[in-house]
Each structure stands twice: as C-alpha cells, then as structure tokens.
Amino acid sequence: MYSKVSLLLTTVLTVSLGAGQAIAQGEDVDVIEITGRYLSLDQLNSVKTPTPIIDVPQSLSIITDVQITEQGFVNFGDILRYTPGLSISQGEGHRDAINIRGNQSTADFFLNGIRDDVQYYRPLYNLEQVEILRGSNALLFGRGGGGGVVNRVTKTPVVGEAFHGFGAAIDTFGAGQLTADINLDTGDQSGVRLNGFIETMANHRDAFDGTRYGLNPTARIALGNETTLTAFYEYLDDDRVVDRGVPSIAVTGAPGRPLEGYDNTFFGSADRNRTTLQAHTFRVRVDHEYTDQLRGNITAQYADYDKAYQNIYAAGFDATVIPNRVTLDGYRDTTARTNLIVQGNLVGEFRTGSLEHTLLVGGEYGDQDTTNARVDNLFAASNDDQISIDFSDPLVIPDFDFVTPVRDRSSSVQFTSLYIQDQIDLTSSLKVMIGARFDRFDVSVLDRQAVSATDNGRRGRVDEEVSPRFGLIYKPADNISFYASYSETFLPSAGDQFLTLSTTSEDIQPQTFENREIGAKWDINADLSFTAALFRLERGQFTTIDPDDPSIVTTVAGSTTEGFELQLVGELADGWTVNAGYSYLDGVVEGGGFDGNATRQTPEHMVSLWNRYQINGELAIAVGATYQDAYFVREDNGVELPGYTRFDAAVFYDLSQETRIQLNVENLFDTDYFPDAHSNSNISTGEPLNARLSISHEF
C-alpha cells in the first residue's frame, strides 16, 4: 500500500515544473506510470495539451492526494502555506480567498478545468491533485486569474479494479472526520467510484463549531474503443460559525497591529454568526480519440449553489480608554447562483516540413445567473447598524436583528470564448508557444434598491477582449529547460462576483493584467527537480474600499508585483524526500492616494520546507517549517501583521500493507501568530500546538 514505488510516484507528481514522470496510457482509462514524459489531458487539466511539464513556459505546482494526506492538510490555507508565491486571505470566515503574486481573488478556482467561482470553502476529500498555476493566462482560463489560478482534479474510476478505502481522524480540539473512497468493478468497459466525507469542526476559538459533509459519485463508460464518457455529481453541505478574528489597535507613529492576548476571544455572536451552503454540481465529459495524433473532448457542467452567511464582527477597537471600547457591525448576506458552462477542446500533433506542432483549438460558453441580497443588522440600543461597547471577555453582544435592506441585486452573465494555441518545435532544443483567446463577456445587473421613477435599476456592459500568450523554451539537454513568457488576462468592471456594476462602473474598461516571466527547470536526476521563476506582473486600474468608510470606493491607478520563486522537490537520498520553496514578492500600489504603498497581503519573503524520512519498512517521520514575512493588510498600509515561523511534524506507521496510522502535530513550538486577515479590523489568530491522529485502511 505504501511501497517505495508509490512514494516515488508521489514525489514525482509533486514536482513543480519538473519533466513529467507520468504518462497516461490505455484504451479506456488513463494509467499513471513512473516512466515517461507526459502528464495526460486528464491528469493535468489546466494545461489542456499533452505537453511535458518541463516544456510548459509557466510556473506551476502540483500537490497530490498523498501529499495532502501525509501533511494533514484540511483546507486550502494549509496547501498554500507550503506553496511558493501564494498566501491565504481570511475570506471573512465563510469562503476561500487566495493571494497569488500580490493579487487577491475569491473566484479564480476551477474544478477539473471548469470554472468554480462561488464563494465557499472547498473540501479536499475527493481530490487526485491540486494544480496551482501562477501568472496571468486568460488563454486557458478566460477572465480573472490575474495572479494565477487553482484547479482541483477529482478522483475518477479505475476500470477493471475493485478497492475500498476508509479513513478516520480526530484532533486535540475535538474536530473529527470520516472519509470513504470506493471503486467498483463494473466490467471491462466501465467503472464507478464513490467518494464521501463527513466532518465536525472545532478549533481554539471560543465559539467556533460546524459540520460539513459531501458525496461524489463518478462513472466512466467506454463507448467503443475510441470514446469515453465520464459522468460526475457532487453534493456539498456546509454549516459553520462565521469567525472574523480579532481587531487591530492603533500604534502612535507606526502602523496598527493585531490585538494580542485574546487569541481565543470571539468578537461576534455565538448564536447568530453562521454560514450555510448547499451545492449541487453535475458534469458530463466525452473524450474521443480520432487518431493517434488527434483527440478531443467536450464537457458540460451545471452547478447550483445556495449560500447564506450572517455575522456580527469587530469594526474597531479603542485601547486608549479604560475600559477599552470595541465597535461592532454586522449584516446578513444571501447568494443563489446557477452556472451552465460548456467547454470543448481539440488537440492535434502533426508536422509541417521540419516543424512539429501541438495545436490546441477550443471554445467555451457560459451562462451564469446570480441573486444576491444584503440586510444590515440593527442594534436596539443605538438604533443603528453599529454600536460601541465596553470590551469584556467573553464579549457581551447587545440585542440586535438583521432588518435593514441595503442590497438586492440580480445579475446575468453570458460569455463566449474561442482560443487557439500552437506549440512549435523549431529544433530539437528550441520551442515556441503562441496563441490567443477571444472573449465576449455580456453582464447585466438589476439593482432593485436603485429602482425609482427615473431609474429602472438596470445596468449592463458588453466587453470583447483578445488575450495573447507567448512562450519560448530552450532545452540544452533533455532534463534542463529555460523559458520566457508573456501573457495577459482581464477582469470585467462587474468584478469577479458580478455584483458591483453601477451607473459609474458601466463606463469603466475591464481591469487588465500583464505577466512577464523567465524561468528554468532542472531535473537533477530521475527523483529530484529544481525550478526557478523571475517575473513582473502589472495590474491595471482597480477599485478598493476605503478602510475608514466601507461605503466609499476608491479608484487606484494600478499595481506592480516583481519577484522570484524557487522550489526543490524530490528524493535527496535513499528514503529522504524534501519539498522546499521560497518566494520573494515586491508589490507596489500606484495612485489612488496610496502611491508607493505595498500591495495588500503580500509578504516579501515566504519560505516552506517539508522533510520526510523513511526509517524502515513500517516507520517514517517528517518535519516541516513555514515562514511568512510581515505584510500590510490593505493598500492604505494602516495595519501590519507580524512575520512568523511555524514548525510542524508527523509520524507514520504502517500496521500492515493495508492499514496506516499517523500523527500530525501542528505548531510544534506553540508559536503565537496571525496567519491571515480580511480587513484592518478582522485578523485571524493562529492555532496553538495541536495534534491530529488518523487511521486509514484499504482493502
């Protein structure tokens, strides 16, 4: 079950931009083998072509399911801490929010290559791997993705095999999880796989709890020797407390800092701070191999999301008076969204004279409908949505209710995209990649709050954008490549959630991103790879909320992030594997009253290291560390989070070929730290020393 071969496969697949050591084979299903040069279309959804990873002119990282399990990752925040160039944002305690190369997003997520942009916490229970691509690239992904994108690849049926896997885990806070992975043998031409999980949530915070569960059946059927159909369904249900952390305090002559000494204190209502999600996702994909050199696929995905969250949170803290005073605010927000997306790709490999081509031609159509409403709270004592009270621990929340409508909008988005890309082998050592994507993005918004005798409340805008991509790859040897690339993407003025279109923003051009990058990839040997990337990412005009008055939106001329990333992944010695990463980011804001300030939530230095050593056939140990430099929460640079170093460790013991028990210890030296934030008044506190015991069994 955990043989050296499987560990080697894990190491190979987690190599960031190393030469792909896996190749998909087989008439009906994709089978990964250790030897070979390619990751298939199914194994690397983001790239869409059967290109060796060493020939991709872009920085990317692949995190496998084995790495997720062994490092005890339970959310995307855990993954990003061990990925160079990325950091996590708080997401207001109800959604994934990421920072890639100094650009924040809640929408640049994909599921098996299809957009998954609703705001929620994405589970990890059914993943084969996570693909993180850095740098703007609208050609493959369309709008957004200014700093990069995250693509989840789910597990698919293995035809002709039957296996069952179960897992259980519990940690020192009382949080627990049960998982199941069942693959059914339904014949030589078909297979069914069922993944499921249920978890109860708990952590160091006084009022945090929750439950979440999901079910994901997938079926694969061969429709002849050249055609395969894959049908996918997933249901997710999430019910948890919304926790927005602690506020900051002012410091004379310096940026503010997080309130210290109250890591467990809940600045909200234990009864009313809540978020719920019910999500259904249906997908059908058909793959067809026309010839050995020509294959295509078409995917149709329909998703229905019902999301709600409500919260009371700290909007300010005054430590200059005794007793200290805390200002509270709150609201309830509901979102219903349906996404219908159809995507088709045709990939051909051919020659013209002495030139070899890998040609990608594709198109995408999407229809997304969203309804969103917000209701402000009202405190009885102040007859207002805000109130200032004496600080106490625990906090005593005055009477309130969510009663004041402030937003009621519906949006409809249709987009049509066509793209073409050709990778041309000019010589055996020199390759060029060139392509472009055309997007037509049509958004209309009905703002019911704005309806009056002279205003029908309807807003709309149509944008047509062409986004180019260019790459040059030079390979002095089969195991070494150097590349240079240029890519663009855009974000419509309606924002990444389509809810900000107004009479003013109707006239605003889409926000643009340009990424220039040079890099190198070196497969030092069959089991060890080193990668490096140097980049400059330019962001065009964007808007940000005034930290002192959220009702005021400020226009910023743009920002620039320059930096470089390094990663070493693989086996350093017999039994000793390592995953080490470093990133340097220098983000600068231009104009908007913030000229010269640092971009939001952009640590200058980030370092991660995970070492795993196999002591004998049954026992392995691991130790890891992550360092995150200090950074400013927002563009105003009014509050700074201190840097920190956190150590983690793990022990693995195979009771048998089928059963493993493992212990993961997080924050080994009980460091007090602040891992992320949403605003100057909403800052997360890091979990203290804690342990997670898990057991897995396969048969």
Residue 500 banded pLDDT, cuts 50, 70, 90? low
Least confident of 463-477, 554-568, 684-698: 554-568
More confident residue, 342 or 593: 342
As a whole number, mean pLDDT of residues 443-456 equals 91
Going by the DSSP 8-state scheme, the letter that residue 27 receives in this structure is: S
Question: Is 377's pLDDT higher than 90?
Answer: yes
Q: Which two structure tokens, joined as six digits, stand for 432? A: 């060029």
Question: Is 26's pLDDT higher than 60?
Answer: no
Question: With left for phi above 0 and alpha for psi between -120 and 50, is residue 161 left, alpha or beta?
Answer: beta
Count up the domains in the chain and report the number. Answer: 1
Q: How far apart are CA 138 and CA 418, in angstroms?
A: 11
CATH number for the domain harbouring residue 374: 2.40.170.20
Residue 48 banded pLDDT, cuts 50, 70, 90? confident
Look over the chain and give the mean of its residue pLDDT values, rounded to a whole number: 89
Distance from chain centroid for Cα 323: 41
pLDDT of residue 2: 37
Q: How far apart are CA 54 and CA 44, in angstroms?
A: 13
- Residue 93 dihedral angles phi and psi, to the nearest 5°: 80, 15
Question: Is 499's pLDDT higher than 80?
Answer: no
Question: Is 592's pLDDT higher than 90?
Answer: no
Q: How far apart are CA 171 and CA 460, in angstroms?
A: 49
Its pTM stands at: 0.90
pLDDT of residue 507: 60
Question: Is 17's pLDDT higher than 50?
Answer: no
pLDDT of residue 494: 64
DSSP assignment of 31-91 equals EEESSSS---TTT-TTT-S---GGG-SS-EEEEEHHHHHHTT--SHHHHHHTSTTEEEE-G
pLDDT of residue 497: 66
Q: Which two structure tokens, joined as six digits, stand for 40? A: 């298939």
Q: Domain containing 109: what range?
A: 4-698
Question: Is 593's pLDDT higher than 90?
Answer: no
pLDDT of residue 144: 86
**Digit-coded pLDDT (tens) for 157-176:** 999 999 999 999 999 999 99
Going by the DSSP 8-state scheme, the letter that residue 524 receives in this structure is: E
Residues 6+ apart with CB under 8 A from 300: 283, 284, 285, 340, 341, 342
Least confident of 22-26, 227-231, 495-499, 644-648: 22-26
Residue 45 banded pLDDT, cuts 50, 70, 90? low
pLDDT of residue 32: 29
**Digit-coded pLDDT (tens) for 111-128:** 999 999 889 999 999 999
Residue 498 banded pLDDT, cuts 50, 70, 90? low
More confident residue, 30 or 274: 274
Residues 6+ apart with CB under 8 A from 259: 246, 247, 248, 249, 317, 319, 683
pLDDT of residue 363: 97
What CA–CA distances, in Å, run from 655 to 2, 58, 231, 658?
11, 41, 36, 8
As a whole number, mean pLDDT of residues 186-197 equals 95
pLDDT of residue 699: 87
Find the length of the chain.
Answer: 699
Are 496 and 108 spatial neighbours (Cβ–Cβ below 8 Å)? yes
Are 11 and 525 spatial neighbours (Cβ–Cβ below 8 Å)? no
Range list of β-strands (E), 86-209: 86-89, 97-100, 103-105, 109-111, 114-115, 127-134, 148-154, 163-171, 176-185, 190-201
As a whole number, mean pLDDT of residues 233-260 equals 97
Burial class (CB in 10 A: 0-12, 13-18, 19+), 386: middle
Residues 6+ apart with CB under 8 A from 557: 541, 590, 591, 592, 595
**Digit-coded pLDDT (tens) for 395-406:** 999 999 999 999
Residue whose C-alpha is closest to residue 56's, from 114, 135, 138, 150: 135
Going by the DSSP 8-state scheme, the letter that residue 469 receives in this structure is: E
Question: Is 675's pLDDT higher than 70?
Answer: yes
Q: Which two structure tokens, joined as six digits, stand for 679? A: 């605003």
The fraction of the chain above a pLDDT of 90, given in percent, is 76
Q: How many Å is the maximal CA-CA distance in the chain? A: 82
Residue whose C-alpha is closest to residue 687's, from 79, 202, 238, 82: 202
